[in-house]
Amino acid sequence: MEKIRWGIIGCGDVTEVKSGPAFNKVEGSTLVAVMRRNANLAEDYARRHHVPTWYTDANALINDPEVNAIYVATPPSSHEQYAIAAMQAGKPVYVEKPMTMNVDSAKSMVAAASSHQQKMVVAHYRRAQPIFKTIKQLIDEKRIRESRIVRLTMFKKLMSEEELKNPQKAWRVNKSESGGGLFHDLAPHQLDLLIYFFGEVAGASGYGCNQKGAYDADDTVTGCIEFVNGVMFTGVWAFTMDNGEEIDKCEIIGDKGRIEFSFFSHSPILVTIGHQTDVISFQPLEHVQQPMIQEVVNYFLNKGRNPCSGEEGVKVMDLIDRFTS
């Protein structure tokens, strides 16, 4: 292939700004077709984003000869189905996070990629962003000497009644579509970055429960990880804050100091050693997936490595299952 000609399955909200426009902005890439079950919405997306072809049937898009790579951006319940269908058709796949519904489904996707000899990348796209590459560099260069303890706190307000009545938002807490609650929607980015930062997991355990009863899925999750290198992680996620008291904070504590950052806001990195705190700031990205999409395109064109393999996606799904099952 000389150029990646993308087809998107599921051109919903996540593709409007975060990812969709980037397929036409990175080198060696163009967006040629989109699919959504609602014909009016599919046509509207194609018109607004200047995409030449739109479909209401995923298989029609997969088998379009003008499409040579597939981006699966539907809810997780259909990730396995569409990814495997694309690979059976001889096309590489970029699949949204969470990779799928559970670890067994993720393993099936990896097996399909192997059996059909197709490339697959999981959209844990934050690992390609400059801020998280910088944190990885700080850790690897031992800026705080050896990393020892990692503490994550994520509190978000309870979803409103209006949000729970909106299908475009409520699916995220529908276990049959998302695999779980908001933990399944947001934590994959965080757990993937922990693996990116610290490597192989030696052991993990956790607990999920529903404290508020606003929906069926877990709304509160705790988890612990021991990494092979000895780093110990503890995290708590609570999507139950009626008063809007929201926190998105991670601390990496080392022998010499600490690194503090946020996963989802535009807060700077704080590196504290002794009484000195250095502030490292970054400009927000217009399309948060663009750096990752460039790396995916390079990989599909045999110009770079896989930025996040299916095997790495399996590790994240395994942690999610351990924390919530």
Question: What percentage of residues in the chain have a pLDDT greater than 70?
Answer: 100
Angle at 270 between CA 267 and CA 271, to 5 degrees: 160
Q: Are 284 and 267 in contact (CB under 8 A)?
A: no
Local confidence band at 86 (pLDDT 50, 70, 90 cut-offs): very high
Q: 288: helix, coil or strand?
A: coil
Domain boundaries 130-284, CATH class:
alpha beta
* HSE-up of residue 261 (Cα within 13 Å, Cβ side): 25
**CA–CA distance, 118 with 33 (Å, rounded to integer):** 20
pLDDT given at position 243: 75
- Closest to 141 in 3D by CA, of 275, 256, 292, 263: 256
Name residue 207's beta-bridge partners: 222
Rg, Å, the chain Cα set? 20
Residues 275-289 pLDDT 10s = 999 999 999 999 999
pLDDT given at position 245: 84
Please give the model's pTM, rounded to 2 decimal places: 0.96
Lowest mean pLDDT among 35-39, 240-244, 259-263: 240-244
Tell me if the domain spanning 4-125+288-308 has CATH number 3.40.640.10: no
pLDDT given at position 220: 98
pLDDT given at position 23: 98
Spell out the domain ranges in the chain: 4-125+288-308, 130-284
Residues 22-34 pLDDT 10s = 999 999 999 999 9
